[in-house]
Amino acid sequence: MAKQILHKLIAKHTKTSDSERNTLFKTYNITSTDLPKILKSDAAIMNLDVKVGDIVKIERKSVTAGVSAYYRVVVEG
């Protein structure tokens, strides 16, 4: 497992599995081109062993929702 950056100001970033990716696409009726992008060189995901096209799940703390999940597709850069 890749080493994750731990800091109180950086949200938790994880690489999604194929099953989680498929569930995401079916649930929201989307494709990877519909998702916002994150650069492969982004400091928060540099140690996650991601490749272009992978989906990264970002879990942010929220006062109203507790934890909110956001998804980004990895692009070159």
Would the pLDDT of 1 be above 60?
no
User: Given this model, what pLDDT does residue 50 score?
Assistant: 94
70 assigned to some structural domain: yes
Would the pLDDT of 51 be above 60?
yes
Q: How many domains does the chain have?
A: 1
5 assigned to some structural domain: no
2 assigned to some structural domain: no
The answer to whether residues 52 and 40 touch, using CB atoms and an 8 Å cutoff, is: yes
Helical H segments across 1-77, by residue range: 18-28
Two tokens, residue 74: 């990895």
Domain extent, residue 31, equals 12-75
Q: What is the mean pLDDT of residues 42-55?
A: 92
Q: What is the CATH number of the domain that holds 63?
A: 3.90.940.20
37 assigned to some structural domain: yes
Q: What is the mean pLDDT of residues 28-40?
A: 96
4 assigned to some structural domain: no
Q: What is the pLDDT of residues 6-32, one digit of tens each?
A: 656 678 999 999 999 999 999 999 999
